[in-house]
Amino acid sequence: MEATIKTYRNDRKYPFCPGCGHGLILDGLNKALTKLQLDPKRVVLVSDIGCVGLSDQYFSTSAFHGLHGRSVTYATGIKLVRPDLNVIVLMGDGGAGIGGHHLLNAARRNIGVKVILFNNFNFGMTGGEHSVTTPHGAKTSTTPAGNYEYPLDVVSSVKVNGANYVWRGTVFDRDLGDWIADAITHPGFALLDVWDLCTAYFASNNKLNKRTMEKLREDLGWPAGLIHKGDRPEYTGALRRSAAGVRGKPLAQPKALEPKFTSTIDRKFHVVVAGSAGGRVRSSAKALSVAGILSGLWASQRDDYPVTVKTGHSISEVILSPEPIRYTGIPKPDVLLLLSQDGYRKAGKYLSKLTAEDWLFTVPAFADLETPAKKVVLDFAGAKIPAPGRELALISVGAVVQRLKFLPPEALQEALQATQRPDIAVANAKVLEKGLTYGAQMEQ
Ligand SMILES: Cc1ncc(C[n+]2csc(CCOP(=O)(O)OP(=O)(O)O)c2C)c(N)n1
Ligand code: SF4
Ligand SMILES: [Mg+2]
């Protein structure tokens, strides 16, 4: 029998100001999770930005932290791909304003994401500026004479747009944890609007406490407690059923990549591929990352490319490791592939970090670069291997793998098949073959 989980908190102390209500809401969340005994790995806390955005690190669950106001979009993506996960958004009123459109659409779709709104009526983290929920007349750092706007009724907005579960309460509600648990177990989109205390700013400047909070709500004429519990079909399930109807069979589930190769990598191994945008740098790096996973390693990939995608650089930083990767930054590459002027401009900074242990693979244009690293000039034209710009990255990755042998070349081939459309994988396999052949010639 599985042991009972007594808490989903780790032993870190909350970082909030004395009296801040955020900790009370997180205690409620912990109570809910403990009541439901959910598998911590299958709980994803998606934290927004602000003081509330610090919250996920105090729980021993999975987590995702992104941009201000966008937490609902990340949560939607996670839930779409993995409907089996419990996806819980922790967002402030600032995030609800910035990402209001996302809230409405999540409600409209009725996707099974649960939003806990830490509604302290201001931007706490940045100094108490007014937000979309700041009451009329309230004093904040941006409304010193009193707010002349009126607050957004987030609860009514998501309700009228189709959310299955809507609740409003305060940090003073002792049964908050039970309501959070109820929202988690009810299918569909849920929003709990929890009126909260920012003691550093809003509460102190507006004399907000349990009593005045209650009065504020009554003056607005807004109800409290469970406001709506509906039974519209939850989005991810409905979408899958409808797609299965069109295809005539259930949708395929994402498949795990099963390791079937071995690698010589016995520590964190960093590879940077630096080329031009549109040069398939990222898909080549992806082949490398997936080949690593197929070889029993952990892999991370971080890409950088310009907003105007077909201009300028494209950089991919890949880490392969026998241990889980906790930090995805690259202090220094073990292998740097410098493939174009654009790549050089952006990733040239790594050159000065290379040591005699490291490798620089580059193109003839950079043959004269000074470096203490072991330098290899990839001269595909000299070897009569056609390598147009869009093929250069994949051919080079193939040559590097063949030359250094930290992964089996077959793993790269398999990675293409595992991640690309069959016709594209076949075409790319031929491109990769050119690099493997060149790498084999280099060894001789
Ligand atoms: C797009 C964007 N705009 C502004 C900021 C600056 N910023 C950081 S925290 C914050 C306020 C957060 O307020 P809220 O979401 O209510 O959370 P709280 O701090 O009150 O918990 C702002 C505006 C940001 N990080 N991103
Ligand atoms: S600034 Fe406000 S919201 Fe942030 S921790 Fe302090 S009291 Fe809480
Ligand atoms: Mg706030």
216-253 confidence digits (pLDDT tens): 999 999 999 999 999 999 999 999 889 888 888 887 77
| Atom number in ligand 1 closest to CA 49 | 9
Cβ of residue 387 lying under 6 Å from some atom of ligand 2: no
The arithmetic mean of pLDDT across residues 407-421, rounded, is: 95
Q: How far apart are CA 154 and CA 172, in angstroms?
A: 20
Tell me what pLDDT residue 245 has. 87
Task: Classify residue 96 by its DSSP letter.
Answer: H
Q: What is the CA radius of gyration of the chain?
A: 26
Tell me what pLDDT residue 362 has. 97
Tell me what pLDDT residue 164 has. 98
Cβ of residue 119 lying under 6 Å from some atom of ligand 1: no
Q: How would DSSP label each residue in 223-279?
A: --EEEEE--PPPHHHHHHHHHHHHHTSPPPPPPPPPP-S-----S-EEEEEEEETTS
| Mean pLDDT computed over every residue of the chain | 95
CA angle 400, 404, 408 (to 5 degrees): 85
Question: In this model, does residue 403 exceed pLDDT 80?
Answer: yes
Cβ of residue 281 lying under 6 Å from some atom of ligand 1: no
Tell me what pLDDT residue 309 has. 66
Question: In this model, does residue 256 exceed pLDDT 90?
Answer: no
Question: In this model, does residue 310 exceed pLDDT 70?
Answer: no
Burial (Cβ within 10 Å: 0-12, 13-18, ≥19) of residue 222: middle
The arithmetic mean of pLDDT across residues 356-382, rounded, is: 95
Going by pLDDT thresholds of 50, 70 and 90, the confidence category of residue 254 is confident
Q: What is the pLDDT of residues 130-152, one digit of tens each?
A: 999 999 999 999 999 999 999 99
Tell me what pLDDT residue 444 has. 65
Could you tell me the distance, in angstroms and rounded to a whole number, from the CA of residue 79 to the centre of ligand 3? Answer: 25
CB-CB contact of 136 with 129 (8 Å)? no
Among 123, 131, 141, 152, say which to mutate for ligand 1: greatest number of ligand atoms within 8 Å of CB: 123
Going by pLDDT thresholds of 50, 70 and 90, the confidence category of residue 25 is very high
Tokens representing residue 12 in the block: 């870190």
Tokens representing residue 11 in the block: 């032993």
- Greater confidence, 308 or 326? 326
Cβ of residue 124 lying under 6 Å from some atom of ligand 2: yes
Q: What is the pLDDT of residues 34-92, one digit of tens each?
A: 999 999 999 999 999 999 999 999 999 999 999 999 999 999 999 999 999 999 999 99
* 347, 350, 352, 353 alpha-carbon torsion, rounded to 10°: 180
Tokens representing residue 295 in the block: 């070889």
Q: For ligand 2, atom 6, name the residue with the nearest CA.
A: 17
Tokens representing residue 364 in the block: 């003839």
Cβ of residue 49 lying under 6 Å from some atom of ligand 1: yes
Q: For the whole model, what pTM was predicted?
A: 0.76
Q: Collapse the DSSP code of 434 into the 3-class scheme (helix H, G, I; strand E, B; otherwise coil) and give the result.
A: helix
Going by pLDDT thresholds of 50, 70 and 90, the confidence category of residue 443 is low
Could you tell me the distance, in angstroms and rounded to a whole number, from the CA of residue 98 to the centre of ligand 1? Answer: 9
Q: How far apart are CA 70 and CA 161, in angstroms?
A: 19
Question: Sheet containing 313-321: which strands, arranged edge to edge?
Answer: 298-304, 313-321, 269-276, 335-338, 359-362, 374-377
Tell me what pLDDT residue 1 has. 61
The arithmetic mean of pLDDT across residues 326-333, rounded, is: 93
Q: How far apart are CA 8 and CA 294, in angstroms?
A: 33
Please report, in angstroms and rounded to a whole number, the separation of the first and last CA atoms in the chain: 59
Going by pLDDT thresholds of 50, 70 and 90, the confidence category of residue 11 is very high
Instruction: For each of the domains in the chain, give its residue range(s) and CATH number, in order of start.
Output: 22-238 (3.40.50.970), 269-443 (3.40.920.10)
Could you tell me the distance, in angstroms and rounded to a whole number, from the CA of residue 29 to the centre of ligand 2? Answer: 18
Could you tell me the distance, in angstroms and rounded to a whole number, from the CA of residue 335 to the centre of ligand 1? Answer: 38
* Portion of the chain with pLDDT greater than 90, in percent: 88
CB-CB contact of 269 with 336 (8 Å)? no
Neighbour count for residue 105 (Cβ, 10 Å): 17
